[in-house]
Amino acid sequence: MILPLPQRTPWALLAASLSIGLSACSAQNQETPQTAATEVGVFTVSTQSLPLTTELPGRTVAMQSAEIRPQVSGIVQKRLFTEGSQVRAGQALYQLDASSYQATVRSAEASVAKATATLAAARLTAQRQQALLAADASSKQTVEDAQAALKEDEAALLSAQATLASARIDLARTRITSPISGRVDTSSVTEGALVTASQTTALTTVQTLDPINVDIPQSSVDLLKLRQQLAQGGLKDGGTRIRLVLEDGSTYAQEGTLKVNGVAVNTSTGAVTLRATVPNPDHVLLPGMYVRAVLNQAVDPAAILVPQAGVQRNARGEASALLVGQDGKVVQRAVTVAQAIGNQWRVTQGLQAGDRVIVEGVAKVRPGQVVHAVAAALGASAPAAASAASR
């Protein structure tokens, strides 16, 4: 005989259901662990001494340059140099036909000899008349005339001597010499060419190439900004050394020295011209070459460099960084960025030594969130040099 199941009341069924539901929730809470803090990579800020450099375009200019022009007219008899060779000061470069100038010198020498003889005769006459006057054998007028003739002959001799000196100078100028030592350019004339005194076309050019100058225009605005920073003490004078980057992108081996700061602003470009002197023993640099000059103009004694991944910009271009505070919470802070140095930013405001900047996992966190900070594994550091021109 089958006994009927005891009937359960609704209250009993409800109590059983609640008991089962509470047991299930308790079991679920025990199985789900508490959410862990997000791990982020941080860069600990430190200060360092950083040379601030400015890279500017420049042109090489010969230290000395002399355009060789004839000072007398004549036919070129000989060219006495090898084009492109090194010449010394006083070395003969051209020889002009000197026959007419030699004849002029001989004529001037004859005039001097004649004037000398005439003067000697006049001097004797003056002495004789003076003696006759003492013996009352001559008149005073005759003596005065003799003295006047003597002075006239003295002047004539001086004139003849000046003419002779001028003729000798012209004769010497038929041998055209270099006024400076340096590299001689190609010749614009050949043997047999007629040249004239002070002609506009140079026969050749001699230029001193070692050392060589570099003219560097710099914006007057950037120059004023740099001087203000130096005056305020935020930067220190970085010296006067420069490096050159050549047209093919290679770095010139020799360092130069800044010699002259411009004393005037070009009204058309608004730039001040700086002049540097660079050793050029192998004559790699030639006048007129385009170069980029890297100038060490200042030093930031407490520069802050931060990996670029740690700085973000909003739609308005304003820079900021996410930091991990002492309580482990994320803090957003506005920063001022001067310029990029390799893969880092030079930050001038907003950060200080000891700050922990988030550089890994930035997209996973937000301000106020508690995070777990670990030191980020960064690559090779950026070169310790920066452009002095702020952006």
Query: What pLDDT score was predicted for residue 233?
Result: 53
CATH top-level class of 39-49+301-387? mainly beta
**By the 8 A CB rule, do 176 and 76 touch?**
no
CA 80 to chain centroid, in Å, comes to 37
Q: Where are the beta strands (DSSP E) in 69-134?
A: 74-79, 86-87, 92-96
Query: pTM of this prediction?
Result: 0.61
Alpha-carbon separation of residue 11 from 22, 23, 115, 390 (angstroms)? 17, 19, 158, 80
Domain locations along the chain: 39-49+301-387, 53-62+209-300, 70-97+174-201, 99-172
Query: What pLDDT score was predicted for residue 225?
Result: 63
Closest CA to 360 of 45, 39, 5, 12: 39
pLDDT digit string (tens) for the chain, length 391 residues:
444 445 544 445 444 554 545 454 444 444 444 456 788 888 998 888 887 777 788 899 999 999 999 999 999 999 999 998 999 999 999 999 999 999 999 999 999 999 999 988 888 888 887 777 677 766 778 877 788 888 988 899 999 999 999 999 999 999 999 999 999 999 999 999 999 998 899 999 999 998 899 988 877 666 666 566 556 555 555 556 788 999 888 899 888 887 766 666 766 777 777 888 899 988 889 999 999 988 776 677 788 888 988 888 888 888 898 988 888 888 899 998 887 888 888 888 888 888 899 888 888 888 888 888 888 887 544 444 555 444 4
Query: What pLDDT score was predicted for residue 1?
Result: 41
Alpha-carbon separation of residue 110 from 172, 196, 342, 359 (angstroms)? 19, 27, 81, 96
Closest CA to 330 of 352, 308, 361: 361
CATH top-level class of 53-62+209-300? mainly beta
Range 70-97+174-201 has CATH code 2.40.50.100: yes
Complete DSSP assignment for 129-194: HHHHHHTT-S-HHHHHHHHHHHHHHHHHHHHHHHHHHHHHHHHHTTEEE-SS-EEE---S--TT-E
Q: Name residue 34's amino acid.
A: Q
Q: How many CB atoms lie within 10 A of CB 355?
A: 22
- List the structure tokens of 85: 């060779």
- List the structure tokens of 247: 């047209």
Closest CA to 55 of 228, 308, 251: 251
Query: What pLDDT score was predicted for residue 229?
Result: 53
CATH architecture of residue range(s) 99-172: Orthogonal Bundle (1.10)
Query: What pLDDT score was predicted for residue 226?
Result: 59
- List the structure tokens of 16: 């059983």
Q: How many CB atoms lie within 10 A of CB 241?
A: 16
Q: How many CB atoms lie within 10 A of CB 136?
A: 7
Query: What pLDDT score was predicted for residue 35?
Result: 55
